[in-house]
Amino acid sequence: MITVYLAEDQSMLNSALTQLLELEDDLHVVGSATDGAAAWADLQRLTPDVAILDIEMPKLTGLDVADKLQAAQMLTKPIILTTFAQQAYFERAVNAQVAAYLLKDSPSDDLIAAIRKVMTGQTIYAPELVVNMLTAAHNPLTDREMAVLVAADEGLPTKAIAAKLFLSAGTVRNYLSAIFSKLGVHSRLEAIKIARTNKWLQ
Amino acid sequence: MITVYLAEDQSMLNSALTQLLELEDDLHVVGSATDGAAAWADLQRLTPDVAILDIEMPKLTGLDVADKLQAAQMLTKPIILTTFAQQAYFERAVNAQVAAYLLKDSPSDDLIAAIRKVMTGQTIYAPELVVNMLTAAHNPLTDREMAVLVAADEGLPTKAIAAKLFLSAGTVRNYLSAIFSKLGVHSRLEAIKIARTNKWLQ
DNA sequence: ACTTTCAAGTGACATTTGTCATATAACCAA
DNA sequence: TTGGTTATATGACAAATGTCACTTGAAAGT
């Protein structure tokens, strides 16, 4: 019998999956939560074989929980189950040595199959992500440029950005100019849009 | 026997719900799709009792499909099943006379209960939304101002916005100025931020 | 009929932004 | 040690942006 814990903040999916997994003879759902902190508390107590973790949850993300599982050297195998194929998330998950990384864009049978496979020691990554890994646009901005862009994203004007980062206004404009040139745009708005679609921001 | 159709673009939820609904003795899932256009084509052919519609789907949204069901005077009862409580969506759904409007933030049993209730002629709205309806900060911007703001949000400079909306550049600046004054800000960036947090944008 | 609101516009103006050239100092790698 | 990158800065300039004060016509409300 494989014991499974489910952390998923969308109740509809949480309850549907719980019931579905329970129907399998070799699986038993020992608990579930809709936020990361509750999940982590439960996991320490229940030590299930597998923990299915959504990434975007209140309080703690699924990746945070996976990190904690690894740090505590627990035997519970984390399976990340998330909506979108975002490179940054995937890389963090690989570093946290998750047992599987699945997209919600695949059928529930895939999840059930994945649970059984990770119990045999296999590691499973959604193929979309592995392909993406090679082609992913990585952030060309320096830390300093990112700090300026983040401040700009808050809607602050040049002077306020300068004050916030203890720079002169001219330097801030220079950074912004450098950012625009790297991203091939000509305004804060466009730069922010690009940074956002590439998930460098927010 | 209640026949049910399921349009939900997240495969994990789609397949999980399909299997779960099939377990109920009085429900039968006659078909499902992961995009709106396929759903509409199927619905015309299958004429199920109930159509569960996600809003954000490729090609046609669930609200588009609900509109079409109403326009074609079909007896299929639309149930909207969506992630977030957005006032604009809810209002459109009410106008399309949907049979129920549920959030994915509720358990799957609620959906099953809702299906049975709509078959008795009841209309079901998620309580969060009805409360929200009364308290919602309503958008103070005119349609025209919104059009300008949307264009600005795309990162377009004044001239491009003017060209897009067949206005003069001066008029566009005036609209923007009016928007800023209504929202109490002094830049496009800040205005966009406020519009976004209030869900008037995106 | 009168008023308000909205859509659309013009012109002038000050301010902010974006661009560019250029400079220095620190650090890191070949 | 030489060169590249980053962090920081200045000054000058053109372009874009935001503000204000107006005007006009149409639609909607009372």
Task: Give B62-83 pLDDT, tens digit per residue.
Answer: 999 999 999 999 999 999 999 8
Q: What is the CATH number of the domain that holds A63?
A: 3.40.50.2300
Question: In terms of domains, do B159 and B114 share one?
Answer: no
Query: Is A16 close to B14, i.e. CB distance below 8 A?
Result: no
**Dist CA A18 CA A5 (whole Å):** 9
Structural domain includes residue B53 = yes
**Which residue in B10, B16, B193 is closest to A20 by CB distance?**
B16
Q: Is A149 among the domain residues?
A: yes
pLDDT at A181 over 90: no
Whole-prediction pTM value? 0.75
Query: How many residue pairs bridge chain A and chain B with CB atoms within 8 Å of each other?
Result: 87
Rounded to whole angstroms, the distance from the CA of residue A189 to the C1' of nucleotide D17 is: 13
How far is residue B72 from each of residues B30, B76, B115, measured CA to CA in Å?
Answer: 20, 10, 21
Which tens digits make up the pLDDT trace of A52-105? 999 989 899 999 999 999 999 999 999 999 987 676 678 778 888 899 999 998
Contact list in A for residue B15 (CB cut-off 8 A) is: 107-109
Q: Is B13 part of the contact surface with chain A (CB cutoff 8 Å)?
A: yes
Same domain as B65, residue B22: yes
Is B95 part of a structural domain of the chain? yes
pLDDT in tens, chain B (202 residues): 999 999 999 999 999 999 999 999 999 999 999 999 999 999 999 999 999 999 989 899 899 999 999 999 999 999 999 987 676 678 778 878 899 999 998 899 999 999 999 999 998 887 776 666 555 556 677 778 888 888 888 888 888 888 888 888 888 888 888 888 888 888 888 888 888 877 777 7
- Show which of B135, B161, B179 is a domain's final residue: B135
Provide the residue range defining the domain that includes B162. 143-197
Cβ–Cβ of A13/B104 closer than 8 Å?
yes
Count: domains in chain A:
2
One domain for residues A16 and A108: yes
pLDDT at A135 exceeding the cut of 60: no
Query: Do A158 and A127 share a domain, yes or no?
Result: no
Same-domain status, A114 and A149: no
Is residue A8 domain-resident?
yes
- The answer to whether A15 faces chain B, any CB pair under 8 Å, is yes
B12 and A111 within 8 Å at the Cβ level: the answer is yes
CATH of the domain at A184: 1.10.10.10
Q: Please say which residue of A115, A135, A155 terminates a domain.
A: A135
- B202 located within any domain: no
Q: A97-103 long-range CB contacts below 8 Å, 24 or more apart?
A: A97/A70, A98/A66, A99/A50, A99/A123, A99/A124, A100/A124, A100/A125, A101/A125, A101/A126, A101/A129, A102/A126, A103/A128, A103/A129, A103/B12
Alpha carbons A199 and A194: distance in angstroms, whole number: 8
| Closest residue, chain A, to B19 (C-alpha) | A20
Residue A124 shares a structural domain with residue A24: yes
- Assess A109–B contact: CB distance below 8 Å, yes or no: yes
